[in-house]
Chains A and B, each alone.
Chain A
Amino acid sequence: MRPVVIAGVGMIPFERRDEDSLVDMLSMAGLEAMDDAGIGEHPIDAVYVGNMASGLFNRQVSVASSVVDRLNLMPAAADRVENGPASGGSAVKNGFLAVASGYCDAVLVIGGEKMREVIGPRATDVVACMTHPLAEYIYGVTLPGLAGMFAQLYMEKYGITREHLALVSIKNQDNGILNPNAHIHMKITMEGILTHPQSHINNPVVAEPLHLYDCCPVSDGAAAVLLTTEELAASLGKAAVEIAGVAQATDTHTLQERSDPTDLKAVTIASQKAFSMAGMEPGDIDVAELHDAFTILEIAESEHAGFFAKGEAASAIKAGETRIGGKLPINPSGGLKARGHPVGATGVAQIVELVWQLRGEAGERQVEGAANGFSLNFGGFGNNVLAFVLRRR
């Protein structure tokens, strides 16, 4: 396989973007990535668009065809890639394979979702369509519901408390304040969301034991990366970051079929494979972007990816090890919790953040000396997971 370099990145602020269509957002992020790479008139061979549910949210399908036309990239190949909340990660993986195999020299990967077109309960329902139609969905299961059940088990097994979950929220919202592209710019406190006797009114239950501030917001947004060969990137003067490892793993569709529902096997396998491909260990990573759609997931994923032993992430969080300036900063972007989670965009946005970190361009949230980054994009409820290792060249 040929090395694959990320020559350009782009991202539009995640928020509620009433005035932009999905294709507007995808195009803006794509243009930013092309401008960042300085690719000019050089042809783009293929465009992969990570998007979960434009047909359901926006009544529009074939969005990749629409984007190549909007960006005047014809006759580039164009595909929409769908893998639930890991659609962005899957799109990047496809772009990676196209360049690594020698089939393409320049591939634009864009992830995006416009979820705020519908009201909150409908958005929750659309996202719930990724669950098993007969074993889960028809019984009213939602993703917050699955996460609540998972959290209950995980917390009991490993002695995690609501305080640990709240520490994840507080950290990620603190980081979000430093990120101009984040959806949420609001500092929260332990008193305001947990310890004050009336904090349950500010922070009501969503799916016990998860409360409002344990859950990511519903966002609109898009992010993009331009993947090229190292030769092309070098000619553009943009060869700073390469994808050193990429892996994907799956697990049973339903949570109930897993022998131990607290064991996120696909996270472990994808992470191990990505580290192996990169020739690295978890200890080599300087900064990580994990899929904290719910606070419990940041804790569980950090353990399953190998950064902490099972049951030890909570104490590391309490000790501040995962804050910017700590031993392993996790989600300096604010994560899904504060940056936002336009589902199809997330996997790409994680990689965009890592590129900014490895290039030293992350502004106030810069992790000093970051050379190796890791991202984890969690599809379904852990049934289709992508892991990436990025390296500064």
Chain B
Amino acid sequence: MDMELEAYLRPPESEMAPYPAKVITLATGKKMVVREVTRDTVPELLEAVMPTLFIPRDYYDIVGARLYAELLGWYRYRVKDEFCIIGQVDGFLVGIVNSRMYSPELGISLHTLAIERGMRIGAHLFAAKMEHHIEYLDQEEVLITAESPIGFRRWMIEYNLEKRDGQHELGGATPYALTRELYFENKDRLVAGERPVPAELLEIAEREIKVASEDDIREKILGARRRQRR
């Protein structure tokens, strides 16, 4: 690799405050560890994202394909100031969210992928990335768009977001913004998690990002009855 040329192709990176891990008690009573991951974990994450590329239901294929590209771009230094937060239950990856800083003041929410469904995992992880933008990266607002009806309902309606002119960098639907004010108005209702994470839970999560088999991922997303249908 010609590092001189590579230096031109790699975006400059800003200093970003770390996101401290937290633990959320789900409706099932299980504990989900929510933590920021570094780019070296991307290969494991891509393994979990891959099966979703073939699931059209609820636009998983579009979200999965775009998330795959964004994570790969981050892994190979082609996206500026991206971060990724994951949820793990008993070490197993149950959801991924990614986002990036567009400027010190403005965040851009990219994607939210829930592998386990029906437990508000996507909602909890989306809330975690908003928490990171506003509370730890100290940004003024986050620009958000939606690619699926579920996303629209969760993000746009639950947070009562403000409409914005112009476009989100993902293109697509009208962008909306979560401002600091809106975030703190909704925080008690929507942002869960306790810190610090008990050492034994964090140790299990950090030891290994366990990824379910392709069949299991399909079943978790589609339900047992549909996992074999393509």
Contact = CB atoms under 8 A, between A and B. Distances in A.
Q: Is B one of A's binding partners? A: yes
Interface of A: 13, 15, 18, 119-120, 184-189, 191-193, 196, 198-204, 213
B76 interface: no
Contact of B25 (A120, A185, A191): A191
Interface in B17-65: 24-30, 57
A186 B153 contact: no
Residue picked from B149, B190, B191, B223, most chain A C-beta under 10 Å: B223
Contact of A202 (B191, B192, B194): B192
Contact of B192 (A120, A187, A201): A201
Contacts of B192: 198, 201-202
Nearest to A203: B27
Contacts, number: 54
Given A119-B149, A196-B25, A202-B26, A18 B57 contact: yes
A154 to B, nearest CB: 24
> Interface on chain A toward B: helix, strand, loop, or mixed SS?
loop
A204 B189 contact: yes
A203 B149 CA distance: 21
B25 A192 contact: yes
B189 A184 contact: no
Q: Is the interface of B mostly helix, strand, loop or mixed?
A: loop
Interface size class of B (residues with CB under 8 A): 20 to 34
Given A198-B192, A201-B190, A202-B192, A188 B27 contact: yes
A191 to B, nearest CB: 5
Contact of A198 (B24, B29, B225): B24
Q: By CB atoms of chain A within 10 A, which of B27, B28, B30, B192 has the most?
A: B27
B27 A15 contact: no
A79 B120 CA distance: 41
A202 B189 contact: no
Contacts of A185: 223
Nearest to B124: A201
The 5 closest A-B pairs by CB, nearest first: A189-B29, A192-B27, A202-B27, A201-B192, A192-B29
23 contacts: A15-B223, A185-B223, A186-B28, A186-B118, A187-B28, A188-B27, A188-B28, A188-B29, A189-B28, A191-B25, A192-B27, A192-B28, A192-B29, A193-B27, A198-B24, A198-B194, A200-B189, A201-B124, A201-B190, A202-B27, A202-B119, A202-B120, A203-B27
A196 B153 CA distance: 26
B189 A201 contact: yes
Nearest to A202: B27
B189 A192 contact: no
A13 B30 CA distance: 27
A4 B25 CA distance: 51
Contacts of A199: 25, 27
Interface string B180-191: 000000000111
Nearest to B117: A186
Nearest to B229: A19
Given A192-B26, A199-B27, 7 more contacts: A185-B223, A192-B27, A192-B28, A201-B189, A202-B120, A202-B192, A204-B189
B227 to A, nearest CB: 13
A191 B28 CA distance: 8
A203 B118 CA distance: 12
Contacts of B28: 186-189, 192
B183 to A, nearest CB: 15
A119 B167 CA distance: 26
A240 to B, nearest CB: 28
Q: Which among B26, B193, B225 has the greatest number of chain A C-beta atoms within 10 A?
A: B26
A379 B138 CA distance: 52
Contacts of A186: 27-28, 118-119
Given A15-B225, A120-B153, A198-B192, A191 B29 contact: yes
